[in-house]
Amino acid sequence: MASLHPLRSRRLGVLVALLLVPTLAARAQAPARLDPARLVPHIDSLAAVANGQRVGWWRYEITRLADGWRYEDRTQLGARLDQRTTILLDGEGRIRSVEQRARMGEDSLTADAAWTDTRVTGESRTPGPTPHRTFDLPITPATIDDNFLAAVLPTLDWAVGDTLVLEVMSTGQGTVTPMALTVERGDTIEVDGRAVPVWVGTMTGGPLPVQYVVSRDRPRRVHRIAPIGSPLAFERVAG
């Protein structure tokens, strides 16, 4: 979905193209914010597909708690990656903590962050030239964690021609970056033998643009995430 793995630069490096650099459009527009009233408890599963072959899976669940929400996901890409993420939110939909654990072959990767209304602090440990990172960064009420994008994007208001700007925290990298999603068109896809109207949008500004396909009818679901120019895509397998 941010840097620990070249295939998924969304979360600790899992959806490569999601660590986007700031763009002029992103700087000129107020970031979109999560409306917690649009969060819906559910489970989704997506197949990881590369060059027409299934190479793994990604499953995530949103659960309503007495005092907020919990987001949990797990990603497996064969023997190369096994990653788990847990995000806790309060009743207003504000992130309060992020915990991530992953194994890539023989390497262990961890990232932890504590959120307040105005700051995020934490650390990550990854292989490479900077194995240990710590961070203490200012945030706004619009800031979200990159691991949470698949849950947030379906709650936003999509309209053809609009650009949605998001202020995104990467726990793995220890950075906050604006990302811009342009809604390009409406379309229809077939799911379990039925026609499903969808929005198609592209997030730009990073090493690769990333295409998102999200259902138009609420409660919305992510049907596809595909870095353009990469062989890897995530495609929904649960109706």
- CA 206 – CA 178 distance, rounded (Å): 11
Q: How many CA atoms lie within 13 A of 69 on its CB side?
A: 23
Structure confidence at residue 129 as a pLDDT band (50, 70, 90) = confident
**What is the dihedral angle through the alpha carbons of 155, 156, 158, 163, rounded to the nearest 10 degrees?**
-150
The encoded tokens of residue 64 equal: 């309503």
- Which band of pLDDT confidence, cut at 50, 70 and 90, is reported for residue 18? very low
CA 83, distance to chain mean position in Å, is: 14
- What's the pLDDT score for residue 131? 85
Contact 205, 22 (CB under 8 A): yes
- For the chain, the domains span 16-236
Share of the chain above pLDDT 70, in %: 86
| Kind plus residue range of the DSSP H or E element containing 151 | helix 149-152
Residue 173 to residue 10: CA distance in whole angstroms: 10
Question: DSSP state, 80?
Answer: T
User: From CA 114, how far away is CA 121, in angstroms rounded?
Assistant: 5
d(CA 23, CA 180): 8
Strand bridging mode 143-145 / 163-170: parallel
Kindly tell me if the per-residue pLDDT of 14 is higher than 50. no
Structure token pair of residue 2: 């941010």
What pLDDT does residue 173 have?
85
Distance CA 93, CA 13 (A): 24
- 118 CB neighbour count, 10 Å cutoff: 11
CA distance 133 to 125: 6
Nearest CA to 34 out of 138, 115, 149 is that of 149
- Whole-number Cα distances in Å, 72 to 44, 51, 121: 11, 28, 20
Amino acid at 161: G
Report the pLDDT averaged over residues 39-56.
Answer: 94
Looking at per-residue pLDDT, the higher value among 8 and 239 belongs to 239
Q: What does the pLDDT look like over 162-202, one tens digit per residue?
A: 999 999 998 888 899 899 999 999 999 998 889 999 999 99
The model's confidence at residue 84, banded by pLDDT at 50, 70 and 90, is: very high
State mean pLDDT over 73-85. Answer: 93
- Please provide the average confidence, as pLDDT, over all residues in the chain: 86
